[in-house]
Amino acid sequence: MSQKTQTPIEVRYQETDQMGVVYHANYLIWFEIGRTHFIKNLGFDYADMERNGIVSPVVDVHVSYIKPIRYGEKAYIETWLQSYNGIRTTYGYTVFTEDGTAAVTGETEHVIVKKDTFRPLSLRKAYPEWHKAYKEIIKDES
């Protein structure tokens, strides 16, 4: 069973640049919105994790820009779990315009670390429930 989520995005004027389109770095912020939604949809809560002194930094990012998006357009972002190995989690994303055209695609890879020291932790050990859910999604998709 796919756990893909669709999240609507309203383009903010502030997100445009003088090229007249959404500034390229802002799609990483949209990815984060998609990722937050994806995680919440599975019943987990990232804010909660942080309250326990654990954060989940991005270790790798890749973005491909196919088509610019403009202020006034509607967009939505599709988010899925691309790979997971107990330590590293990779999410995949496609940003679509209203008519269903893929405008931007990308992926972000994450680990979890202690907030104080940035020492790496294993998601498998720290959040066994979360680990189990991700393992199942990956299994179902392969």
Active site positions, annotated: 17
- Return the SS3 of 105: strand
List the x/- string, 37-66, binding to a second copy by CB under 8 A. Answer: --------xxxx-x----x-xxxxxxxxx-
Residue 123 CA to residue 117 CA, distance in Å, equals 17
Asked if 15 and 79 touch (Cβ cutoff 8 Å), the reply is no
132 binds a second copy (CB under 8 A): no
Cα–chain center distance at 74: 19
User: Tokens 């991005």 identify what position?
Assistant: 58
Using the minimum distance from each CB to a second copy, give the nearer residue, 61 or 136: 61
The angle at the Cα of 43, spanning 91 to 85, to the nearest 5 degrees, equals 40
Task: Count CB-CB contacts under 10 A for residue 59.
Answer: 14
Q: How far is the CB of 46 from a second copy (least distance, A)?
A: 8
DSSP conformation letters of 127-141 = -HHHHHHHHHHHHHH
According to CB under 8 A, which residues from 71 to 100 bind a second copy?
71-72
Asked if 126 and 54 touch (Cβ cutoff 8 Å), the reply is yes
Stretch that binds a second copy, among 67-75, 88-96, 122-130, 132-140 (CB under 8 A): 67-75
Q: How far is the CB of 129 from a second copy (least distance, A)?
A: 19
Using the minimum distance from each CB to a second copy, give the nearer residue, 62 or 125: 62
Among 3, 32, 87, 131, binds a second copy (CB under 8 A): 32
According to CB under 8 A, which residues from 105 to 124 bind a second copy?
115, 118
Binding residue count for a second copy, defined by CB under 8 A = 40
17 binds a second copy (CB under 8 A): yes
